[in-house]
Amino acid sequence: MIANGLKTHCKRGHEFTVENTYNRLHVRGRQCRECHSLNEKKYREKNLEIVKERVRKWQSDNPHYRLKRKYNITYNELEFLYHKQNGRCAICHQEIALKGGRYTHIDHDHISGKVRGILCRNCNIILGIIKEDTKILRNAAEYLEGQAWLKSQR
């Protein structure tokens, strides 16, 4: 069908709507999102190694892409936080390395996504084990200080 000089449906019969249409400037005309997704999937399946290599190259050219995607911070912001913490874990104050940081963990609120600080591996594990429950952490501190044992003996 044609309305106002433009086709209303793609070759496969999908309707061109605002939500379902790409305006492709480098290719003539429009393309529906459904057909575009199908074409992309077919291309990836047919050219898997080429696609994987392209992804690896992009990731090596953009080494800090995960920071923005996962934590919504830039590498400069991470460096600022690292220097603000004097290169130390925010909890135990052990020295941590920012670069090659296999043992450096960005701590963030899992609900809001907001970054709280940089932790060493062990402190990050502790927060994970206690499910970030401050009550458990306080109880553990009291236990280690001997207060919990004394209270239960009274």
Question: How far apart are alpha carbons 71 and 64 in whole angstroms?
Answer: 11
Write out pLDDT tens, residues 29-39: 778 889 889 98
Residues above pLDDT 70, as percent of the chain = 86
Q: Which two tokens stand for residue 12?
A: 């496969």
Domains detected in the chain: 2-59 (no CATH), 72-153 (3.40.1800.10)
pLDDT, the chain, mean: 86
Write out pLDDT tens, residues 50-60: 999 999 999 88
Contact 148, 136 (CB under 8 A): no
pLDDT over 80 (residue 107): yes
Q: Which two tokens stand for residue 50?
A: 């080429």
Nearest to 88 by CA among 104, 102, 99, 77: 104
Please tell me the predicted confidence (pLDDT) of residue 153.
61
Residues above pLDDT 90, as percent of the chain = 49
Residue located via tokens 């084990």: 129
Q: What is the mean pLDDT of residues 101-119?
A: 87
Q: Which two tokens stand for residue 126?
A: 């502790």
